Amino acid sequence: MEEKMQQLKSTMATLADLGGAQAILGWDQQTYMPPAAAESRGQQGGTLGRLAHEIGTSQELGKLLEELKPYAASLDPDSDDARMIKFAVRDYEQATRVPAEFVVEQAEVTALANQAWAEARAKSDFSIFHPHLEKIVELTHRFIGFFPPADHPYDTLLDNFEPGMKTAEVKAIFEALRPQQVELIQAISKKPQVDDSFLHQAFEEKKQWDFGVEVITAFGYDWNRGRQDKSPHPFTNSSSINDVRITTRVAPDFLNTMLFGTMHEAGHAMYGQGIGMNLERTNLTGGASLAVHESQSRMWENLVGRSMPFWQHFYPRLQELFPGQLGSVPLEKFYKGINKVQPSLIRVEADEATYNLHIMLRLEIEIAVVEGKIAVKDLPAAWNARMKDYLGVTPPSDAKGVLQDIHWSWGMFGYFSTYALGNLISAQLWEKINHDLPDLTGQFHAGKFESLLGWLRENIHVHGRKFMPQELVQKVTGSRIDPAPYMRYLTKKYGEIYGL
């Protein structure tokens, strides 16, 4: 069995190396690749993906996994080897259910849909995207059909992005949350708005960049195992536990773009850098799930980066860099400005209090589409009605409404809720962390973040993908994903800021 386990590890190492190579190709594509290389880069990525798929669905691997099942059953179920086999079986079963021809068809449909979406958004004309989205919905139904029936057909999609998560579970969480979030936003809307005009001034790009670097260096981002570059859309790119890179963007006339984008990606990246080296080149590297990953990025961006203790330490430095712009803005005013709540049209620009509502809207629409209760042609109207209900705003155009996100053009139905779940997990972990580390506020005030990062490493990062997301949250906090801590956090924070 030792020998068979070595065979599995060797296969996993090959797959990890292919994935790592693809990560670097992707990083290069979005940072430094010359424009004319797009086609050949697509071919190279396609070939590596095909080779990985051939290895990951081979009969040899299937046979090996069958032979290893009794061995896994004989082990401590939390041991690395047992978990490696468990997830290898899961991945193998998922990958072999979807026929290769379907994968090819999906790639072709989404390539065209992606182009059509870009054009539709540019022209704010849903009719350009409409026929492509019809095909994607049809493909989505066929995809669901490859899997055994679940409690709800949408479960299959969710499980694809958030392992083990059920539609009923997400709906229950969001239904508990929505009325409270709506109520909070309505209460805020009755109070005088805070001023954030000072954030919209000219800020020298080089100084912004340097400040971001100072902040994430203090957080504990490891430059020996990463780097930061510029890209139009910030991302984190992991090709190995020892190579987790981030990108950021800098707006010359708005401070938040660089500031919170940099902290967000550093949060993802420190997760990637913190995975135990015992998991390197296995199928257990990477995070527990997209939601758990998002809990880390949102924690550093919001619970740390939009907190008063953080700015008690860093604001004098920011004022020193931008004396003309911020010299006469007191800390209290700055803190309120970066935490301004204002219902808006675009998800990626939403504040903490309204963000989840953007997600709930998408989840409800996706479920209704899968259930056949909303036709594709009716999506713009369904979108706008919910925007009005939840956020009190109405998109002036589909470009700022149903066409704003790229995900559906990639066929990614089932993805969005991971963003909101990440917010919830971040607050749930935060309560536990503050219980375990009662002096966190004092440490942030002094610019110290080692205790926080150490706690996250030990409790979350080091495990990589060894645990399913709910299992991990339960293990660490004592309960499954729970919206209450997030509501407590929002209510307390915005109660103070807006004097509710």
Only one of the segments 99-107, 135-143, 239-247, 262-270 lies at the binding site for its own copies (rule: CB under 8 A); that segment is 239-247
Distances (CA, A) of 235 to 209, 228, 255, 343, 414: 16, 10, 18, 25, 20
Position among 5, 24, 187, 399 found at the interface with its own copies (CB under 8 A): 24
Position among 2, 3, 39, 101 found at the interface with its own copies (CB under 8 A): 39
Distances (CA, A) of 280 to 75, 290, 462: 20, 19, 11
What is the distance, to the nearest Å, from the Cα of residue 491 to the centroid of all Cα atoms in its chain? 24
Q: What is the distance between the alpha carbons of residues 486 and 291, in angstroms, rounded to a whole number?
A: 14
CB of 102 to its own copies, least distance (A): 21
- Nearest CA to 143 out of 106, 91, 108 is that of 106
Position among 2, 3, 34, 76 found at the interface with its own copies (CB under 8 A): 34
Tokens of 189: 């809307």
Q: What is the distance between the alpha carbons of residues 14 and 480, in angstroms, rounded to a whole number?
A: 35
Q: Are the C-beta atoms of 489 and 180 separated by less than 8 Å?
A: no
Count of residues near its own copies by CB under 8 A: 39
CB of 41 to its own copies, least distance (A): 7
Element at 450 (helix H, strand E): helix 450-459
Give the active site residue among 265, 294, 352, 366.
265
Residue 43 interacts with its own copies (CB under 8 A): yes or no: yes
Residue 28 interacts with its own copies (CB under 8 A): yes or no: yes
- Written in H, E and C, the secondary structure of 310-325 is HHHHHHHHHHHHCHHH
Q: By C-beta, is 15 or 258 nearer to its own copies? A: 15
CB of 300 to its own copies, least distance (A): 20
For residue 236, list its beta bridge partners: 246
Residue 261 interacts with its own copies (CB under 8 A): yes or no: no
Q: By C-beta, is 48 or 116 nearer to its own copies? A: 48
List phi, psi (to 5°) of 429.
Answer: -65, -40
DSSP assignment string, 242-296: TEEEEEE--BTTBHHHHHHHHHHHHHHHHHHHHS-GGGTTSTT-S-S-HHHHHHH
Element at 448 (helix H, strand E): none
243-248: strand order across its sheet: 228-230, 243-248, 236-240
CB of 261 to its own copies, least distance (A): 20
Only one of the segments 38-46, 317-325, 378-386, 426-434 lies at the binding site for its own copies (rule: CB under 8 A); that segment is 38-46
Only one of the segments 29-37, 361-369, 378-386, 463-471 lies at the binding site for its own copies (rule: CB under 8 A); that segment is 29-37
Q: What is the distance between the alpha carbons of residues 387 and 398, in angstroms, rounded to a whole number?
A: 12
Position among 8, 9, 12, 18 found at the interface with its own copies (CB under 8 A): 18
User: Treating both helix axes as pointing N-terminal to C-terminal, what angle do 255-274 and 331-338 enclose, rounded to 10 degrees?
Assistant: 70
CB of 36 to its own copies, least distance (A): 4
Only one of the segments 25-33, 117-125, 144-152, 487-495 lies at the binding site for its own copies (rule: CB under 8 A); that segment is 25-33
Position among 41, 130, 171, 207 found at the interface with its own copies (CB under 8 A): 41
Position among 13, 89, 118, 453 found at the interface with its own copies (CB under 8 A): 13
For residue 246, list its beta bridge partners: 228, 236
Position among 4, 5, 7, 25 found at the interface with its own copies (CB under 8 A): 25
496 flagged as catalytic: no
Residue 431 interacts with its own copies (CB under 8 A): yes or no: no
Taking CB under 8 A as the rule, which mask of x and - marks residues 191-230 in contact with its own copies?
Answer: -------------------------------xxxxxx-x-
Active-site positions read 265
Interface residues with its own copies (CB under 8 A) are 13-14, 17-18, 20-21, 24-25, 28, 32-37, 39-41, 43-44, 46-48, 51, 222-227, 229, 239-243, 245, 280-281
